[in-house]
A and B are shown apart, each in its own frame.
Chain A
Amino acid sequence: MKTFLILGAGTGGTMMANKLVKRLDPKEWKIILVDKDEVHYYQPGFLFLPFGYYKPEAVYKTKKQFVPAGVDFILSDIEMIEPEASQVKLTKNNEVIHYDQLLIATGTDIHPEEIDGMLDGWRKNIFDFYTFDGAMALRDFLKNFNSGRVVLNIKEMPIKCPVAPLEFLFLTDYYFTQRGIRNKVDLLLTTPLTGAFTKPVSSKLLGDVLQKKSIRTEAEFDVMEVDAAANIIRGYDGREFEYDLLISIPTNMGSNVIKRSGMGNELHFIPTNKETLRSEKYENVWVIGDATNLPASKAGSVVHYSAEILIENIMSALEGKPLTARFDGHSTCHIISGFNKSLLIDFSYEVEPLPGMYPFPVVGPFPLLKESWFNYLGKLSFKWIYWNIMLRGIPFPLPPEYSAAGKKQVTL
Chain B
Amino acid sequence: MPTKNIAGKDVQVNEEGFMTNPAEWTKEIAVELAKEEGIPELTELHWKVIEFCRANAESTGAVPTLRTITTGSGVSTKDVFALFPKGPAKKVAKISGLGKPEGCV
Q: Which residues of A contact B (CB under 8 A)?
A: 156-158, 162, 193, 197-199, 220, 222, 224, 236-237, 265-267, 295-297, 331, 347, 352-353
Contact = CB atoms under 8 A, between A and B. Distances in A.
Nearest to A156: B67
Contacts, number: 44
Interface string B47-82: 000000000000000000111100110000110010
B104 A157 contact: yes
A237 B85 contact: yes
B67 A295 contact: no
A331 B86 contact: no
Contacts of B72: 266
A236 B81 contact: yes
Interface of B: 65-68, 71-72, 77-78, 81, 85-87, 102-105
Contacts of A267: 67
Nearest to B102: A295
Residue picked from B67, B85, B87, B105, most chain A C-beta under 10 Å: B105
B104 A266 contact: no
B78 A157 contact: no
A353 B105 contact: yes
A22 B81 CA distance: 52
Contact of B71 (A266, A295, A331, A347): A266
Given A222-B81, A267-B67, A237 B86 contact: yes
Contacts of B86: 220, 237
A266 B103 contact: no
Contacts of A352: 105
B16 to A, nearest CB: 12
A220 B103 CA distance: 13
Contact of A347 (B65, B77, B78, B105): B105
B51 to A, nearest CB: 18
A227 to B, nearest CB: 16
Given A193-B103, A236-B81, 8 more contacts: A158-B104, A220-B86, A222-B66, A236-B78, A237-B85, A265-B68, A296-B104, A296-B105
A294 to B, nearest CB: 8
A182 to B, nearest CB: 30
10 contacts: A198-B105, A220-B86, A222-B81, A224-B78, A237-B81, A237-B86, A266-B68, A297-B104, A331-B105, A353-B105
A352 B105 CA distance: 8
